[in-house]
Amino acid sequence: MNAELIWTVLFEVLGGLGIFLLGMKYMSEGLQAVSGERLRKIITAVTDNRFTAVIVGLTVTCIIQSSSITTVMVVGLVNSAMMTLTQAIGVIFGANIGTTITGWILTLKVGKYGLPLLGISAFLFLFSKNERVRYTGMAMMGIGMIFFGLELMSNGFKPLRTVPEFLHWLHSVEATSYFGVLKCVAVGCILTMIVQSSSAMLGITMGLASTGMIDFATAGSLVMGENIGTTITAFLASIGTNTNAKRAAYAHIVFNVLGVIWITAIALPFYFPFITKILGQNPNLMLMLDNGEPSYPHIMPAIALVHTVFNVTNTLIFLPFVGLLAKLVTKLVPEKGAPEVPHLTYLDVRMLDTPALSVIQSQKQILFMGESVELMLEKLSKVLENAEPDEEIEKKIFHRENILDNVQKEVMVFLGELISGQVPHDIMEKARRQMRMADEYESVSDYAAAVLKGLRKLRKNELVFAPEGMEEFKDLNRRVLDYVKKVNAAVRFEDSKAAMMLLPVSADITRIMKDYRQRHLDRLTEGKVTALSSLVYTDMINSYRRMKDHTLNIAEVAAGEK
């Protein structure tokens, strides 16, 4: 074989594949940015209703334009306990249907317009100041790159039609028998595992078919193998996750493998003839163009139809057996002997490919921090009420403060990674607000622990507050706790109006604190308290003031103030 020809083909096909994959990435990111809010609403609509889960998976995959990203996202959601196994299986079913839209996009006869589309949309993306226009341009630029990449791959394969050695190898894997179908399935599976993109392999398959180098049956068999190969992405993503997340990845594998097993058994005698009948044309029909180039106008729609009918039929067959599939993967991935160490956060780096959903995960963690601060203040209230120290409660307060220190670090790292990528302005703003809230909540927990340290210092030095002073702290704790609860509710429901109404409450608490401080100074002047206990009192009241100030900052963020 001519070495120069090999390098020419290799460079053109690899270049086309690279542009194709980059186009898929840009299209996915652009569509996500344009549909961010809608995407968040869709994913939170997942219920235990299997039909709803399928629709969610289908819709999300159509938006993201990648079943691999969807399934990795599902593994991440299950790993962070935001989705159950049965919900995940339904979403995976829908993702398998949603990914077939890529095949139909590739059938559009606009390969020669790919480069102009890429150029025009690149200007929109680079020079438009309207963010929605910019990301729409980014999605269009991705589509242009997909078409141009496919055109390059198709043209790259054309010279191989005159190479006997390559044609001989292709003939050795033709789907002319059941064994031949299985060989094609294996080749499609292995190549997809290597490329890590079923869409890219579908593009390569269509490129080979459009030049007449492989026939319809061979192309259809390769596509079925690609359905198995695409499961490797979710499997790799499940490494290091909890048991349920591994089960979700295994459910994807079992579903696709079982589907391919039954369809390959009837592929040659029934399935491929059925597709031909629906199409109304022979996919292998060759037409000669005016320039003498052969054309196969019906084979690409036929391949897309093979992909779609297979996935839709497979989903309809397995949908009634979601429960059984869940039981099967539960047996395949049993519970670990030792209890799994719970994660500190819901955060999962697998979600960074879907920024619109990443902020849902991080928001869950912000709510966790708010609830933890509430819990600390409730326990602190019990410490203040009890005449005798309760070591168990005090340990829990300090333990929770340590947890929030670590959670804040994880949130900041996660959101830092998120905003360092290509994300739209609204996601950037949400992430920045969440980072500020995480910092403020962690500070509240620090000062709650500081109050407890003050009480312990009193006990250690055998000091006491005046009865009025202890009552003042009980009242302050109640007021700050109530303020934290109301601010948390505004954050939880994203109610900016409620948060705005809470801003003046801070000033009321400040006035009460000043009044209590003045009363304490009067008691000190009258000799009712010692100077050392006065220092502890001052430190503790300052801690409550700082807790109130940081809670006010959270309310300002929730109200939309800078």
428-445 residue pLDDT tens: 999 999 999 999 999 999
Check residue 342 and give its pLDDT.
46
Q: Label residue 546 exposed, middle or buried (CB < 10 Å: 0-12, 13-18, 19+).
A: middle
Residue 477 has pLDDT above 70, yes or no: yes
Instruction: Compute the Cα dihedral for 513, 514, 517, 518 and give only its sign.
Output: negative
> What is this structure's pTM?
0.78
Same domain, yes or no, for 327 and 379? no
Same domain, yes or no, for 324 and 396? no
Paired residues of 288 in beta bridges = 294
Is there a domain that residue 263 lies in?
Answer: yes
How does pLDDT run across 480-511, given as a tens digit for each residue? 999 999 999 999 999 999 999 999 999 999 99
Is there a domain that residue 253 lies in?
Answer: yes
Give the DSSP per-residue string, 475-533: HHHHHHHHHHHHHHHHHHTT-HHHHHHHHHHHHHHHHHHHHHHHHHHHHHHTTSS-HHH
Do 180 and 174 form a contact (C-beta atoms < 8 A)?
yes
Please give the Cα distance from 221 to 240 (Å, whole number): 33
Write down the H helix ranges in 162-242.
164-172, 178-195, 198-210, 216-229, 231-237
Check residue 41 and give its pLDDT.
79
Is there a domain that residue 339 lies in?
Answer: no
Do 174 and 218 form a contact (C-beta atoms < 8 A)?
yes
Do 465 and 537 form a contact (C-beta atoms < 8 A)?
yes
Do 224 and 310 form a contact (C-beta atoms < 8 A)?
yes
Same domain, yes or no, for 284 and 378? no
Please give the Cα distance from 488 to 558 (Å, whole number): 9
Please give the Cα distance from 280 to 274 (Å, whole number): 10
Same domain, yes or no, for 290 and 356? no
Same domain, yes or no, for 142 and 214? yes
Domain boundary among 332, 360, 380: 332
State residue 295 phi and psi, 5-degree precision.
-135, 145
Same domain, yes or no, for 304 and 446? no
Domain boundary among 303, 332, 361: 332
How does pLDDT run across 388-435, given as a tens digit for each residue? 889 999 999 999 999 999 999 999 999 999 988 778 888 899 999 999
Residue 365 has pLDDT above 80, yes or no: yes
Same domain, yes or no, for 187 and 155? yes
The number of distinct structural domains making up the chain is 2
- Is pLDDT larger for residue 387 or for residue 289? 387
% of residues, the chain, pLDDT over 70: 96
Average pLDDT for the chain: 89
Same domain, yes or no, for 52 and 130? yes
Do 86 and 126 form a contact (C-beta atoms < 8 A)?
no
Q: What is the mean pLDDT of residues 263-277?
A: 93
Is there a domain that residue 130 lies in?
Answer: yes
Check residue 1 and give its pLDDT.
55
Is there a domain that residue 214 lies in?
Answer: yes
Is there a domain that residue 503 lies in?
Answer: yes
How does pLDDT run across 99-114, given as a tens digit for each residue? 999 889 888 766 677 7
How does pLDDT run across 297-334, given as a tens digit for each residue? 889 999 999 999 999 999 999 999 999 999 999 999 99
Same domain, yes or no, for 383 and 328? no
Three-state DSSP at 108 gives coil
Same domain, yes or no, for 415 and 507? yes
Is there a domain that residue 340 lies in?
Answer: no
Please give the Cα distance from 38 to 57 (Å, whole number): 14
Residue 341 has pLDDT above 50, yes or no: no
Q: What is the CATH number of the domain that holds 533?
A: 1.20.58.220
Tokens of 142: 């991705």
Nearest CA among 416, 399, 432, 411 for reference residue 368: 411
Query: Other C-beta atoms within 10 Å of 174: how many?
Result: 16
Same domain, yes or no, for 355 and 326? no
Instruction: Domain of residue 83: give its range.
Output: 3-332
Is there a domain that residue 342 lies in?
Answer: no
Same domain, yes or no, for 277 and 393? no
Domain boundary among 300, 332, 364: 332
Please give the Cα distance from 83 to 244 (Å, whole number): 10
